[in-house]
Structure 1
């Protein structure tokens, strides 16, 4: 039974709840075949076993397990139910970028946080047994109750319950034990850069902080973030400078110093190469 596929949603935008329901089958009944449904179909089996396939993969989804079906695939019953089976289903939409991939492969490079953005990657296992399934059941029953209410009165409650369900479903494993060595070190390096970007940082300083050879740290960062530590540092400093130009009246020299560039002419040259405009022109576009 395949269980190592993940679906990664690149935020923003956020996934959008559409509808939910509860389906019950007696022995001999089966899930209907569907093609190009156009929305994600998230199944939560609460009783029995659902035999279902998507393209060339098939699953036996037991009570306490979930399956996420893709919006652009062919879904079919692998065989009829052998005993009474019940499952909640949730239809949701997502207008952003998403990708399906194996557990050990990266669907997107992890994003650099831009000055005006807060990007995040939701990573959902396609087939899973969420450890907090009982809590999920309570959320699902509340969603079902909302479905018969006037939409305007329950809209925000529905969206909140749905997002909380995705939070329960998102990979809950202990990442410190399960992430690859490259992911662990790249994440630690990113956090260190964010904490110390105002200081003089070098590959040698990172190597001393983490007790790894600098070439290995560079390799891990390039694998996960698609850039070297110094490239990440340079871009992060410039993003912080963009915020300071808009949120403060500090001089260019002060901002250069506060973001680790130290010298205003060097900072201005780097900023123009990065944004296509000078720091002063960048600031002026936000002034009334």
Structure 2
């Protein structure tokens, strides 16, 4: 029997497994957020909420300042994403267009740096921001988050910038534009898929980060969503419905961003892989 005869069938089966594995946890969390505590402990398990309620969402906002945590996450994620993409654009342009000595070595170092675990950076980052008096300041998260996403963003943009014809920049500079102006007016717009890909990767990394946020912003008013959500559990209590409701609140922005820009992200990942 030829094992490749039903290759298309196996491809569909594999795709279905990936989709279920990706979406089922989110769907299960959403259903859990609509249930009361008693329904969760019932045997046999009820998958669909028998009496859906939004009471858990209201209680989640009452027990913790979830709205404040949400605002903090938005400020940190958006600011770090803008900073990361701005710096990465300049670095990627230099590596793609200018004569930079040891260019391949620099790219290799970027790959290596992107693999550093966050835990290994905790002590120096804590000492640095503590000495600067920036603990419980948004900059204490914005700067590290931007730096941590910078290698991947730079590598993503280098392949795109290298694929833009140099004649377009030359024409812009002949018309009076500076090299920096040509970058922002010509290269960046033509590399939109790559820019969106780098921005979304940086945004998601910042939005989900927990370790630095719990250490550098310990004040209650400065906590981000990942840190705030873990405060719902007590020593002997684990209120799954409340935690699920808070998780849904945290998942919605990421889901919306990816849903709106999914075509650009997919295009950026595939085109970047081909060009690289």
TM-score (normalizing by structure 1): 0.23
The structure that is strand-richer by fraction is: 1
The structure that is helix-richer by fraction is: 2
Highest Rg: 1 or 2? 1
